Amino acid sequence: MGAKKAKEPVDKAVADINRATNRLIDLLTGQDESIGSRAVAALAALDPPPIWALSDALLKEPDATSRLGIIRALTGMGVVEPFRVVIALSEAVKAEKDLEVKKATFDAMVSVRMKIVDARGGGTGGDARPTPRRRSGKKTPGIPIGRAGPAR
């Protein structure tokens, strides 16, 4: 019985954290831009940032303007958690029907990817993959460049 009583305060504290995170997300998607900006800063200050909670809110939010606000918040968190943010945004792209929001989501993914490239020392933000080099006089095995399948 002693373990049950010790667990209750922890459960209550976790529930309080979840309620506070959800309240900040609600403030983020509200009409007041200054409150939304402060909510974004508060969410980004959490360690780890609540990317999955924002992702869930993005998928469930019916209002396009609010979804754009959540996308901006996720993009800002891309500095700290770029891979999780890109995963969350890619799920949103699949579900999004509004073309403006879909475009904003793609733009956000590109922005976060550029941060990853820059962090790896990619410099100009170009492709981080090494450029394939061909040896003169030798053919490369496999599918020739420019063809996706067998010859017809």
pLDDT, position 147: 46
In a domain, 134, yes or no: no
pLDDT, position 32: 85
Structure tokens at 137: 């006089």
In a domain, 11, yes or no: yes
Residue pair 79/54 in contact by the 8 Å Cβ criterion = no
**pLDDT tens, residue order, the chain (152 aa):** 455 565 699 999 999 999 999 999 999 887 788 998 999 999 999 988 999 999 999 999 999 999 999 999 999 999 889 999 999 999 999 999 999 999 999 999 999 988 777 777 765 544 445 555 555 555 545 445 544 545 54
Backbone dihedral angles phi then psi of residue 20, each to the nearest 5 degrees: -65, -40
Structure tokens at 46: 């959490």
pLDDT, position 118: 74
pLDDT, position 64: 93
2-28 vs 51-60: helix axis angle to the nearest 10? 60
Domain that holds residue 93: 2-119
What SS3 string covers the chain?
CHHHHHHHHHHHHHHHHHHHHHHHHHHHCCCCHHHHHHHHHHHHHCCCCCHHHHHHHHHHCCCHHHHHHHHHHHHHHCCCCHHHHHHHHHHHHHHCCCHHHHHHHHHHHHHHHHHHHHHCCCCCCCCCCCCCCCCCCCCCCCCCCCCCCCCC
pLDDT, position 54: 96
82-95 vs 51-60: helix axis angle to the nearest 10? 10
In a domain, 31, yes or no: yes
In a domain, 137, yes or no: no
In a domain, 132, yes or no: no
In a domain, 129, yes or no: no
What's the total number of domains in the chain? 1
Residue 27 sits in a domain whose CATH number is 1.25.40
> What pTM was computed for the model?
0.70
**In angstroms, rounded to a whole number, what is the distance separating the alpha carbons of residues 57 and 53?**
6
pLDDT, position 152: 47
In a domain, 125, yes or no: no
